[in-house]
Amino acid sequence: MNTEEDDPPEKVLEDAIADYSRRYGMSREEVMVRIACPICGKNKKIAVDKEMVLDSPGMVLTYPVVKGVICEHAFIAKIDSHFKAR
């Protein structure tokens, strides 16, 4: 039996975004955004739903990065309308 606890953090995050996209009828056009951990500096490109960014207040998306996606830290990234992490 496979549970969310068994899934890697990337899969859990992808599933949550896909669920959000289905629920709100969004097309799920993805943009790759490089996000760096503010604590250790490790970075990775993450797929982000373009419409989620463009529909966010002020066109800045608050994006939670869970532990294990980029490094051993959990943090909040801000992604602007130019698809750059702040």
Tokens of 56: 């966010």
Residue type, 5: E
Q: Is the pTM of this model over 0.75?
A: no
**Between β-strands 61-65 and 75-79, what pairing exists: parallel, antiparallel or unpaired?**
antiparallel
Residue 2 burial by CB count (10 A; 0-12/13-18/19+): exposed, middle or buried?
exposed
> Which residues make Cβ contacts (< 8 Å) with residue 83, sequence separation at least 6?
31, 33, 48, 50, 53
Burial of 45: CB neighbours in 10 Å, binned 0-12, 13-18, 19+: exposed
Q: Using one digit for the tens of pLDDT, what is the confidence trace for 38-79?
A: 999 999 999 888 888 888 888 899 999 999 999 999 999 999
